[in-house]
Structure 1
């Protein structure tokens, strides 16, 4: 999940040349913000068939803590050996890095320059119009490794464009070739967020460059308020993931330097973020001043925090607690979950705002889009992160998923697309037929919850497998089709920010289909039954337009595309879990649409062109690609990472060993010990009995 932060500060000076640039501002500043269907030729006609208070900061440094025992890739003697050799290697790598045009990790192989790679990518984009028509999973002998390399090339062009003109800045505009910081001094937004993607793609020289910048320039003592949530999932999560990958997968982009760099930076940041949790209830404030480690309530919404934001910082702080033995991190985020659950919301569905002062909810708006989504995502992921040692989160996930099926799942009028609607005025009031693109995290998360991340064929052999998991997997598949359909209905092949759907009146709900199913009771044990499928109703007899085109309504204000990752994220999970190549094919078509319509190209002196970057779109139904001149950090941190993993072998950064946070940063599964345990129990959900008269 990713929220777009609004522009804040005016453009600052170009890339700084010394560390003084990173001195903290002495005046407070604004926070980090919260946040085309006829298909183009050659896509629609061929893809349709697939639908069958201030806190004092510690005065010691991280290494001063006696319990610190970092995980290393080699013996400690390595530290002394790299003092001289590492310095020499760094300068040699840096020299080679710039002279060679940023080659691949192998010194003996010269990589293309930025312009060459951009030219090759542009030539490939132009050839897409002549590509053989898509024939679904019937295609044979597909070179997925080659397709993965196309994603890698796209990432390199995106990264190098940013590096050339906006290095160290938080925002990047690839058309105007400008950048700016979100707060004075910057946050390392682009570099830290994309660092683990660099590692996963084995881009060694670029990792070395990014690491050197982090070591020498990155500071988190700015006298500004920043988003507690965004800073946690992107910056803290990015640093922790870099530590995890560099120590667990030492052959991925190996570089020289202090093994403890990322964990030390993460710990400094976490200590500052803890001030956000110093509310009366323990619910974190929406913002925090990093220099003072002081939480600040939101300026809007009567000071309420976003429920999703308050409950989507647990994976990061729990992993840090496991690394350091510092139970304070663990207790702070566990307390949040206790306060939320103590509200005893009906059927596990939480309103999207919560007050830090007393932990009560604001309003009754129930949705799985913005401000609601990752609450549900982090329920099942907390359970998996701690190796199923915290069953309370599995219980909360199961309850919430049943509530989703009971109150929010409905079907479109003609194609019977499965939709997760919203209840803006509470569960007893009308359903709104609206889905943010953010909701498309859900298919993959449902599949992850049903199987625990292991292959479906293996999971179904478990004695604990039941009808309920079968229904969950079917629901995941149907929701995946709906998310895919929002790409098919546009002229660019890219989904809008929000989609609306045409429903029956009254809406046809899941519990109308199977009133005795687990969606309503949670305990049905009967014969195998499928959920309503779009496969038989996609093409009404004698109608030239596919049925789903009639069902999806895109409003003018929602036609933009911000390069969001949620649909490809779910495709990644669905492929890894089911093994169905269909999801890879859908992902490939999506990837081609991104490259074709969001590329920023420049003319060469010889009249040819080369791609220099990628940008958000203003209108997904305008094939002339009206752009927004902005490349989101999650384009590199999430979207391209998930494409790369989708086209990789399923054992690469496996789901069995890793849990991805809501910004796509992989963190390890572990078994908590000592004080790192669930420090609370759920209150009874049984209604209190009435005393006899």
Structure 2
């Protein structure tokens, strides 16, 4: 029966450190005018989604993801059909009602009590993709499908054993067959990026334990001794609750912890300013300590810090920062943060605009007036590339894994400013995807963004549906739908309705 549900899903193409009171600034520009070709570009995104979705159904379902080159499937998210669940909110947003309902009906049949694959279950990935996807779809559809809430509750109950005894920080992995955590070290992103989803679950189930578990982890992370104010070390030992190492980054392993601080404050409209205060402190520290401009092009970057040494590197993952800072800067009415974010967004887009494919790499290096350390030895070719573009692609990081962060921040920049250059950048990316990611089936990651003849690699992650295509579509959509003043996006691109914002008092630029 489950197979029959899904086989029918064929798409029809149609910074300040003290915040006295927070979260009242208007985020979205009131003067956005969609260009005349917006409808055409929505159709283009729909076509990409249709091709991706139908290829997944034909060659990979019910496995998690499609391998486009071999026209086969892979279970990398415990065999719960990650693509289906992660696509739910996007299917709703683009108005594919019949497809959405069929996907919901199939999701209701998934057995989330058992992992379908060997190994453990990631608390973080399962929360942002599965729980977040189901709760967003439940809410967007007007609570029409209670099975989605029930399924999210089953998963959260299974994951809750990650918190052991009085430990504030959960272990990052759970063995579902034994109902016990795997005693691994964690990162602050894994431990501190659960609040949006588990707060929403508490809200809809009436069980506040979900909120308490997720929130106590964040409160613990906030209190940790930090290498720089507001930003803890990336590593965390759940057993002791202590930091591991002293690596500081806005990139992977820390990213969504910092992202969720301001988003949790906005989604809950809490009277406790600790979340927004900590975020503002982290932003202030970053502008004072980590901000760097390249010696070529004066591009605005935010460096990493390793054992007190600045590392002049950036990453596709860290490019979410611009959108997050635009959101927080507007909420706090802080033009300094907003302007920095727009400059950082420009630097990230430059990594797209400078390559042969018009798509940015996984990671890159640059030089600034304080030094050239990147942890690598750039070749003569790298230096020549840097002298032309203000960055160079790090060895081993030439690939594009179908990540959303640059286009996510571009979407925020469009909605915040209404400047059509951001709209046009989304058009450019859409065209690049159609040209360079088109694979034997659907679309695929590529090995080298600076080669027009790059080979394909890997598989089509579910966030291609949840994030990349959603942010592109929304850039071309009526901005009054799913406004940034009405919705908060989780780190997987799933939308949650936010209450009316509180006024901001006493916050200067």
For the criterion TM > 0.5, the same-fold answer is: yes
CA-CA distance at 1:321 after TM superposition: 0.6
Matched, 1:485 2:371: no
CA-CA distance at 1:648 after TM superposition: 0.8
Alignment CA distance shift 1:618-1:322 (3 Å): same
Matching residue of 1:187: 80
Mapped to 2, the partners of 1:547 and 1:296 lie a distance apart of 43
Alignment CA distance shift 1:502-1:188 (3 Å): same
Residue 419 of structure 1 aligns to a residue in which SS?
strand
Matching residue of 1:170: 64
Of 189, 202, 226, which aligns to 1:321?
202
Mapped to 1, the partners of 2:243 and 2:237 lie a distance apart of 6
Residue 361 of structure 1 aligns to a residue in which SS?
strand
Structure 2 spans left out of the alignment, 5+ residues: 15-32, 374-383, 502-509
Residue 385 of structure 1 aligns to a residue in which SS?
helix
1:359-410 per-position Cα deviation (integer Å, ceiling 9, x unaligned): 1100000011110111110010011001253321111111111111111110
Matching residue of 1:434: 313
1:192-242 per-position Cα deviation (integer Å, ceiling 9, x unaligned): 111111111111232233122212244332385211110111011011111
Mapped to 2, the partners of 1:233 and 1:501 lie a distance apart of 32
Of 325, 341, 358, which aligns to 2:240?
358
Of 215, 221, 231, which aligns to 1:349?
231
For residues 602-613 of structure 1, the aligned pairs below 5 Å read 612-613=441-442
Residue 446 of structure 2 aligns to a residue in which SS?
coil
Query: In angstroms, what is the RMSD of aligned CA positions?
Result: 2.6
Alignment CA distance shift 1:633-1:388 (3 Å): same
For residues 606-621 of structure 1, the aligned pairs below 5 Å read 612-621=441-450
1:498-556 per-position Cα deviation (integer Å, ceiling 9, x unaligned): 01112224489xxxxxxxxxxxxxxxxxxxxxxxxxxxxxxxxxxxx998734211123
Of 321, 332, 339, which aligns to 2:220?
339
Residue 369 of structure 2 aligns to a residue in which SS?
strand
Matching residue of 2:489: 660
Mapped to 2, the partners of 1:637 and 1:207 lie a distance apart of 13
8 Å CA contact 1:225, 1:296 repeated in 2: yes
Residue 445 of structure 1 aligns to a residue in which SS?
helix
Matching residue of 1:537: none
Matching residue of 2:378: none
Mapped to 2, the partners of 1:395 and 1:548 lie a distance apart of 39
Matching residue of 2:122: 227
Matched, 1:638 2:429: no
Mapped to 1, the partners of 2:61 and 2:37 lie a distance apart of 34
Matched, 1:579 2:472: no
8 Å CA contact 1:487, 1:493 repeated in 2: yes
Matching residue of 1:422: 304
8 Å CA contact 1:240, 1:266 repeated in 2: yes
**TM-score between both structures, scaled by the size of structure 1:** 0.64
1:138-168 per-position Cα deviation (integer Å, ceiling 9, x unaligned): x995311211111111111100100112112
Matching residue of 2:452: 623
Alignment CA distance shift 1:507-1:175 (3 Å): closer
8 Å CA contact 1:502, 1:553 repeated in 2: no
CA-CA distance at 1:260 after TM superposition: 0.6
Matched, 1:237 2:129: no
Matching residue of 1:398: 280
Matching residue of 2:161: 275
For residues 60-139 of structure 1, the aligned pairs below 5 Å read 102=10, 104=12
Alignment CA distance shift 1:261-1:472 (3 Å): same
Of 648, 668, 691, which aligns to 2:477?
648
Alignment CA distance shift 1:548-1:322 (3 Å): farther
Residue 168 of structure 2 aligns to a residue in which SS?
coil
Residue 142 of structure 2 aligns to a residue in which SS?
helix
- Work out the number of aligned pairs and report it: 470
Of 325, 338, 360, which aligns to 1:446?
325
Matching residue of 1:288: 174
Mapped to 1, the partners of 2:390 and 2:343 lie a distance apart of 15
Residue 439 of structure 2 aligns to a residue in which SS?
strand
Mapped to 2, the partners of 1:317 and 1:639 lie a distance apart of 24
More contact order relative to length (CA 8 Å, sep ≥ 6): 2
1:317-367 per-position Cα deviation (integer Å, ceiling 9, x unaligned): 011111111111111111112211222424112110011012110000001
Of 347, 355, 360, which aligns to 1:495?
360
Residue 232 of structure 2 aligns to a residue in which SS?
coil
Mapped to 2, the partners of 1:274 and 1:140 lie a distance apart of 44
CA-CA distance at 1:259 after TM superposition: 2.6
CA-CA distance at 1:297 after TM superposition: 2.2
8 Å CA contact 1:274, 1:293 repeated in 2: no
Mapped to 2, the partners of 1:272 and 1:657 lie a distance apart of 31
CA-CA distance at 1:281 after TM superposition: 2.4
1:405-448 per-position Cα deviation (integer Å, ceiling 9, x unaligned): 111110100211001111111xxx22110011111101111110
8 Å CA contact 1:410, 1:419 repeated in 2: yes
1:556-591 per-position Cα deviation (integer Å, ceiling 9, x unaligned): 301010010001101111111112111111111112
Of 563, 576, 588, which aligns to 2:427?
588
8 Å CA contact 2:34, 2:478 repeated in 1: no
Matching residue of 1:5: none
Matched, 1:263 2:157: no
CA-CA distance at 1:190 after TM superposition: 1.1
Structure 1 spans left out of the alignment, 5+ residues: 1-16, 20-90, 105-110, 113-138, 249-257, 299-303, 453-463, 509-544, 602-611, 673-693
Residue 454 of structure 2 aligns to a residue in which SS?
coil
8 Å CA contact 2:123, 2:172 repeated in 1: yes
CA-CA distance at 1:471 after TM superposition: 1.1
Q: Which moved more, 1:331-340 or 1:375-384?
A: 331-340
8 Å CA contact 2:225, 2:232 repeated in 1: no
Residue 229 of structure 2 aligns to a residue in which SS?
helix
Mapped to 2, the partners of 1:220 and 1:548 lie a distance apart of 54
Matching residue of 1:151: 45
Matching residue of 2:293: 411
Mapped to 1, the partners of 2:276 and 2:57 lie a distance apart of 42
